[in-house]
Amino acid sequence: MKQTNYLTFTVTLLTFFFVNYSASAQSKQSSSLRINDDISLLKEINAEKNETKSIFAGNAEDKIAKEKEEEFKPSFSVGAIIHMFAGSQQDGYAFGGDPAGPDPSNWSTDFTVYRARIMVGAQLTKKGNFFMETEIPSPINGATTAGGGKQAAVTPIILDCQYEHVFNDYFSVIGGLQLVSHNRNGLQGAAGLMANDFTYYQYPYNLFPDSPLQGNFGRDLGVNFRGFFANNKLEYRLGFFSGRTSFDGTNSSPIRTVGRLVYNVFDEDKNFYYSGTNLGKGKTLSIGGGVDAQGDYLAAGVDVFLDMPVGDLGSMTLNGAYSYISGGNSPENEYSFATMIPTQNTQFMELGYYFKDLKLQPWLRYERQGMNAESNQIGDAESISDFNKYNSTTVFGGGVNYWFNGYNTNLRLSYTTTTKTVAATDESKTYGQVWLQAQIFVF
């Protein structure tokens, strides 16, 4: 009798564990399938409390509320950036003037709307976004037109028009009309510049449709691949663009290839458009290099950007770059740039200090385009040494920015000079330009 009771008790106990084990296994299998389906929702970070919570910890109402929060809703934004200035420039200033002109020392004064852009951005899906930007193709000012009127009416153009799909941190694709450069300054946003304008010589052959690379204010049509590794510290960009499409003797053209690699030593920098100064925010040291090539054309360079707190008063910004540029030395090649782009070296540096309490930032700027032409690049007009001497230019200047409302609204006062050797007199001449510029930016 005792054995029967023991046997019955044992069978009953085993049956109890078997039934509960089966139910538990089914429950775990169901949970596993749900976890696999909702893997991205397993945890959420509460930024205010800095704590991690399981989505299964709440009640049914919390779960429904969270699912609603996870539903994506497309959004868009509209903005503008305007640069306008009162300026005075000597007629011999190398950009817009002629050092060999009849009265190069004469000063001309005018009021100018330099940039007037309308920007539209849209987050279409969780991973896809769109950006479009317009621009005026020439400044609006008092310059005399071909018909004798004032340059006051300008038809806007499409400057940027691109779609980006971000698959993950490691890989994204950007297609359309977009900013193209092998160096940092060529990829900076206009609103975040430290100096009054972009550099002149870091990408000198990509600005206009009639330039050798047939660009559009530094933009080109194509597709760009971008991603980050090493805890988002290492950035790569690799793009394929139309570049120049018209070559003598052929109806075809090669793809323009642009690549760039950057390592951020301290803070990560994931912005598509780089900044020229961070106004005392964070610690940035970016070291980069890149290549831009099509046919016989090659631009290769290195750059460094430093923005760090220095002392109790504020932060220092240093932006420097060096590039080697050449169109090749074989005019007979099918895709030659030899007679369009002489071999040259360009150097660039900006140095500034931001006083955080005063919101003032004095800065200095140096840039040089040093020609080093080869035999088949200049024709028979002059010797190589004379060509290099008369076509090399140095830019030097400085100014002070008043960031009273950060990037949104600010004032910049600058004085910049250009120095060239004038062929007629074989003398080095320096001429200046003064700008008082206002920036309005909202996006």
Per DSSP, the residues of 9-20 read HHHHHHHHHHHH
Tell me the C-alpha distance between 298 and 296, whole Å: 6
The answer to whether the beta carbons of residues 165 and 173 sit under 8 Å apart is yes
The answer to whether the beta carbons of residues 287 and 265 sit under 8 Å apart is yes
- Tell me the three state secondary structure of residue 305: strand
Tens-digit pLDDT string for the chain (443 aa):
444 444 444 444 444 444 444 444 444 343 333 333 333 323 333 333 333 333 334 456 666 656 555 688 999 999 999 999 999 999 999 998 999 889 999 999 999 999 999 999 999 999 999 999 999 998 998 877 777 778 778 899 999 999 999 999 999 999 999 999 999 999 999 999 999 898 888 778 988 888 999 999 999 999 999 999 999 999 999 999 999 999 998 999 999 999 999 999 999 999 999 999 999 999 999 999 999 999 999 999 999 999 999 999 999 999 999 999 999 999 999 999 999 999 999 999 999 999 999 999 999 999 999 999 998 998 876 789 999 999 999 999 999 999 999 999 999 999 999 999 999 899 999 999 999 999 999 99
Query: What is the pLDDT, as a whole number, of residue 59?
Result: 59
Q: What is the largest CA-CA distance in the chain?
A: 129
Tell me the C-alpha distance between 22 and 298, whole Å: 69
CA 350 to chain CA mean position, Å: 17
End-to-end CA separation in angstroms for the chain:
88
Counted residue by residue, the chain has a size of 443
Query: What is the pLDDT, as a whole number, of residue 65?
Result: 58
CA 108 to chain CA mean position, Å: 33
| Rg, C-alpha atoms of the chain | 30
> Going by C-beta distance under 8 Å and a sequence separation of 6 or more, which residues neighbour residue 330?
296, 336, 338, 376
CA 348 to chain CA mean position, Å: 17
φ/ψ of 385, rounded to 5, equals -65, -40
pTM of the model: 0.82
Residue type, position 330, single letter:
S
Partnered with residue 315 across adjacent β-strands are 309, 354
- Total Cβ atoms within 10 A of residue 242: 16
The burial class, CB within 10 Å (0-12 / 13-18 / 19+), for 303 is buried
The answer to whether the beta carbons of residues 291 and 298 sit under 8 Å apart is yes
Q: What is the DSSP letter of 64?
A: H
